[in-house]
Amino acid sequence: MDLAFMASTMLTLVAALPMTLALFSLSVVFGGLLALLVVWMRVGGNPVARGFAKGYIFVFRGSPLLIQMFLVFYGLGQFGFIRYSVLWPALREPFVCAVLSLSLCTAGYTAEIFRFGLRSIPAREIEAARAVGMSGFLLTRRILAPIAFRNALPAYSTEVMMMVKSTALASLVTVWEVTGVAQRLIAQTYRTMEVFLCAAAIYLILNFLILQLMALLEYRLNPHRRAAPLFPVAPQ
């Protein structure tokens, strides 16, 4: 194994890391917001909205992300009303298409995760909140959202890790992130193993850091599950 080659490969790949991080963070944010909307429709009382949300979740979880991405990237440009609309300067950018399809796809998975978080709230806690007069937004803000998010967090961290891996598909619509650059290096040098090891190391470190952050968040959000401190009042 050639250490000089590995070092230069690593530098080339790390240069593409900001693109991966940009794809990842934008689609986690937009996907999360969209998921909130979908889960609101899914658990709400309106049967039309519920049916739409069910359909959305079925379609985006049941088909591969790659075909969704190609549909957005190649498919939308075929319609004149999109090509001549104000959105076209954005939608012709591969980066925007990649973020759009990543967000749409993750929203389907995340909505399901949030829904299970909601379902795991004990009914008596909601009853208690209603008994003291909370309803609507106050109930959501004080009781539903915090408990549901806390319960959904372990499954949500898995989904966030999947998102890191999914950004690799953006290379197939010509966004040059880490996997795309790795593929170009492999095709140029035919040193598959070295390039793979470098790229794999980047993704594993990234995933490890994200999981640590999520674990920290889980720890911070679950003070009631920690053992009581030995000295409730700090000794003077």
Partner 1 sequence: MTILQTIGFGPTGWGGLLLVATLMTLCVTAAALFIGMVLGTLVAWAKLSGSRIARSIGSAYTTVFRGVPELLIIYLVYFGGSSLVTAAGAAFGYQGFLGMPSFVAGALAVGIISGAYQAEVYRGAFLAIPMGELEAAQAIGMNRTLRFRRIIAPQVLRFAIPGIGNVWQLSLKDSALVSVTGLADLMRTSQIAAGSTRQHFLFFIVGGCLYLVLTSLSDRVFNGAERRANRSMPAGIGQA
Query: Which residues are near partner 1 by CB under 8 A?
Result: 58-59, 62-68, 70-71, 74-79, 161, 164-169, 171-172, 179, 182-183, 186-187, 190, 192-193, 196, 199-200, 203-204, 207-208
Taking the complex as a whole, the smallest distance from the CB of residue 51 to partner 1 amounts, in Å, to 16
Q: Which residues contact 83 (CB under 8 A, 6 or more apart)?
A: 77
**Which of the 8 DSSP states describes residue 45?**
S
Q: Smallest distance from the beta carbon of 186 to partner 1, in angstroms?
A: 5
Map 53-112 to HEC letters.
HHHHHHHHHHCCHHHHHHHHHHHHHHCHHHHCCCCHHHHCCHHHHHHHHHHHHHHHHHHH
For partner 1, which is the closer residue by CB, 110 or 166? 166
What number of H helices and E strands is found in the chain? 12, 0
C-alpha–C-alpha distance, residues 178 and 182, integer Å: 6
Nearer to partner 1, 64 or 154 (CB): 64
We find the least distance from the C-beta atom of residue 228 to partner 1, in angstroms, to be: 30
Minimum Å gap between C-beta 14 and partner 1 is 15
Residue 150's alpha-carbon distances to 11, 143, 146, in angstroms, are 38, 11, 6
CA distance 135 to 129: 8
The amino acid at residue 78 is Q
Q: Which is nearer to partner 1, 50 or 191 (CB)?
A: 191
> Residue 78 or 236: which CB sits closer to partner 1?
78
State the distance between the two ends of the chain, measured CA to CA, in whole angstroms: 59
Least Å distance between CB 46 and partner 1?
Answer: 24
Q: How far is the CB of 190 from partner 1 (least distance, A)?
A: 6
Residue 66, Cα to own-chain centre: how many angstroms?
16
Shorter beta-carbon distance to partner 1: residue 138 or 201: 201
Nearer CB in complex with partner 1: 144/169: 169
Q: Which is nearer to partner 1, 188 or 236 (CB)?
A: 188
CB of 178 to partner 1, least distance (A): 8
Q: What angle do CA 6, 9, 10 make, to 5 degrees?
A: 85
